[in-house]
């Protein structure tokens, strides 16, 4: 499968907003052939669907609906400008086809965003037209051939070729390839900028012109003169002449939290109001620029490294939040070394973006959570592409050896097992997808089938109507989890202790049901695949409690000086 950046360049940015990011970004670097035509098709169908539904909701013309959608786009990243550009390019033809009662599938095939060989099954999101498909499609093409406005190339060139977007595209490409902050004045892998792999992903740098100053390091001369570890604690107490860092943090066992994960760990999230016409407003896309430059991940709200308050109105906190509350000397010491599409196979391609010095830094708790992509792919027959237990063993051992050579002595590594993803189909298949809620015409079963037909499903094994295939996928996931468990119980390393933890999602579901919730409310509504923010925080709660009861030494001491730190330094500089 093409990398997410290759697909981004092949797809107009406006289509990217509502759909390429829906299916292609989380699953890059998976094995198999390229299916960029599939991504283009999904992108077109989603956008045309949204335009059509906006016209219906507001009882307006298609032209007005397109203008309304562009009015919702922010000015940042030239999103509004790009929207108007693409409507100028394609709008007239979309209007003609929708005015002839063609649905989004027909429109996108006629515009050649959807391309399929004659031998392929017909992929469609909506019910087929009453007239034969070939007749309807030929009718649509005749309409376009008569069009005097059709001046664009059928094979759409890269939107990044536009002068106003070229610089932005280069920034995003660089960030996605290197997995380190794009803006990093001193090249210490920490930044004062939030997105493009900045402090949303790892603690905020407090001096971006000095590479010896960054979160997680041992204090330099007890931080008498400057805050060398960015925890907000420095200087000397005038009452007794003792450095505050020494007084408050010495012996408190500071430690950071590092996540090695895929898109679930990075908290991949597409707000459903981006696709739901009845919910769209001027406020719907305010966070779109930030989300785009974070690759549609929201690590600042994730269950492991999240530092912002939850938007989901539940009390549970991230593991970083809890570590910081336990010991305020841990402030800003978090890293999300996560990538959409990550698996045990490709972690070696970006693990070097991890920042930890054995000689200079504090120990760390590392959570290894590759929970899906070793069994998930979009192939029609996904089983041959799944990681085998033997491959899993080799891949994970390679990762652990790398960690042993980079983590300070006294660190900890927790291997997280894979889930039984059959809960996805069981709890979603007969519910309506956001695109189908207005007219009750697109269930998740139909949505999953559409992605599978185009071979762009994030996980054809679990998002399939074939129960046997779902079972085989779960069986392989269990085998890989057992491999992780075996490694944790038989292997030893000099610089860290190793543990294993099951991904017991059924426990999360049971807890949520005790609170009056339903299982489907724990799954991202747009992609129908990722655990959402509530699920992520409930999992963090479970992980924390398990560590507390079984391996309490992993968390370090509770700092008795926390209240004094707050009194002197407030929030230690914020984030």
Residue 3 φ/ψ, nearest 5 degrees: -65, 160
b/e burial code for range 283-312 (CB count within 10 A of at least 16 → b)? ebbeebbbbbbbbbbbbbbbbbbbbeebee
- Sign of CA pseudo-dihedral 341, 343, 346, 349: positive
Concerning whether 263 is annotated as a catalytic residue, the answer is yes
Q: Please give the backbone phi and psi of residue 261, each rounded to the nearest 5 degrees, phi first.
A: -155, 175
Residue 111 CA to residue 114 CA, distance in Å, equals 8
Number of residues written out for the chain = 575
DSSP 443: B
Supply 1's token pair. Answer: 């499968």
**Phi and psi, residue 349, nearest 5°:** -75, -20
Of 24, 49, 228, 263, the active-site residue reads 263
Closest CA to 459 of 371, 361, 389: 371
Greatest CA span in the chain, whole angstroms? Answer: 88
Query: Alpha helix locations (H) across 369-500?
Result: 389-404, 422-428, 444-453, 467-490
63 close to 91: Cβ distance less than 8 angstroms:
yes
Count of Cβ atoms closer than 10 Å to residue 336 Cβ: 26
Instruction: Tokens for 480, please give them.
Output: 């890989």
CA distances from residue 180 to 176, 199, 218, 242, 365 in whole angstroms, order as listed: 8, 10, 22, 36, 20
**94-97 long-range contacts, Cβ below 8 Å, gap at least 24?**
94/48, 94/51, 94/62, 94/66, 95/61, 95/62, 95/63, 95/66, 96/143, 96/144, 96/147, 97/140, 97/143, 97/144
Share of the chain residues as helix, strand and coil, in percent rounded to the nearest 5: 45, 5, 45
Q: Which two tokens stand for residue 451?
A: 């992605």
| 3-state SS string for 30-46 | CCCCCCHHHHHHHHHHH
* Residue 12 CB neighbours (<10 A): 26
Can you tell me which residue has the tokens 């709200």?
Answer: 301
Give the catalytic positions in this structure.
263
């Amino acid at each position: 499968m093409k990398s997410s950046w290759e697909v981004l360049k092949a797809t107009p940015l406006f289509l990217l907003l509502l759909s390429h990011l829906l299916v292609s970004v989380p699953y890059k670097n998976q094995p198999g052939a390229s299916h960029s035509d599939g991504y283009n098709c999904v992108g077109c169908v989603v956008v045309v669907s949204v335009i059509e539904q906006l016209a219906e909701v507001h009882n307006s013309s298609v032209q007005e609906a397109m203008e309304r959608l562009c009015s919702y786009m922010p000015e940042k990243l030239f999103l509004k400008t790009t929207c108007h550009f693409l409507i100028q390019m394609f709008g007239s033809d979309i209007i003609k086809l929708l005015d002839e009662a063609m649905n989004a599938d027909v429109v996108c095939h006629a515009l050649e965003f959807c391309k399929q060989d004659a031998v392929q099954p017909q992929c469609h999101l909506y019910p087929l037209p009453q007239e034969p498909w070939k007749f309807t499609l030929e009718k649509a093409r005749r309409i376009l051939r008569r069009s005097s406005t059709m001046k664009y190339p059928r094979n759409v060139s890269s939107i990044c070729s536009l002068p106003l977007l070229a610089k932005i595209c280069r920034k995003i490409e660089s960030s996605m390839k290197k997995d380190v902050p794009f803006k990093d004045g001193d090249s210490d892998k920490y930044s004062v900028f939030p997105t493009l792999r900045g402090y949303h992903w790892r603690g905020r740098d407090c001096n971006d012109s000095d590479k010896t100053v960054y979160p997680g390091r041992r204090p330099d001369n007890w931080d008498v003169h400057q805050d060398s570890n960015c925890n907000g604690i420095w200087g000397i107490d005038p009452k007794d002449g003792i450095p505050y860092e020494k007084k408050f943090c010495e012996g408190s066992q500071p430690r950071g939290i590092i996540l090695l994960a895929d898109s679930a760990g990075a908290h991949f999230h597409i707000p459903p109001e981006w696709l739901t016409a009845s919910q769209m407003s001027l406020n719907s896309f305010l966070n779109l620029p930030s989300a785009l430059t974070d690759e549609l991940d929201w690590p600042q709200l994730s269950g492991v490294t999240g530092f912002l308050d939850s938007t989901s109105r539940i009390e549970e906190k991230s593991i970083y939040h809890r570590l910081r509350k336990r010991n305020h000397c841990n402030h800003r010491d978090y890293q999300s070394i996560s990538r959409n599409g990550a698996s045990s196979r490709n972690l070696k391609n970006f693990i070097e973006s991890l920042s930890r010095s054995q000689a200079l830094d504090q120990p760390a708790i590392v959570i290894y959570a590759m929970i899906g992509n070793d069994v998930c792919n979009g192939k029609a027959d996904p089983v041959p592409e799944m990681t085998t237990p033997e491959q899993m063993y080799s891949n994970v051992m390679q990762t652990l050896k790398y960690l042993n050579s980079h983590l300070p002595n006294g660190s900890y590594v927790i291997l997280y097992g894979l889930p039984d993803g059959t809960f996805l189909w069981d709890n979603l298949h007969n519910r309506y997808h956001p695109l189908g809620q207005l007219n009750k015409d697109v269930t998740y079963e139909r949505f999953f089938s559409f992605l599978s037909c185009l071979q762009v499903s994030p996980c054809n094994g679990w998002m399939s109507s074939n129960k046997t295939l779902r079972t085989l996928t779960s069986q392989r996931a269990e085998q890989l989890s057992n491999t992780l468990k075996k490694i944790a119980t038989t292997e030893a390393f000099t610089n860290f202790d190793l543990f294993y933890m099951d991904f017991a999602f059924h426990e999360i579901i049971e807890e949520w049901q005790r609170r009056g919730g339903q299982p489907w409310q724990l799954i991202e509504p747009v992609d129908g695949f990722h655990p959402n923010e509530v699920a992520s925080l409930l999992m963090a709660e479970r992980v924390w409690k398990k560590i507390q009861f079984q391996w309490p030494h992993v968390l370090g001491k509770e700092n008795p000086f926390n209240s004094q730190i707050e009194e002197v330094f407030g929030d230690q500089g914020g984030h």
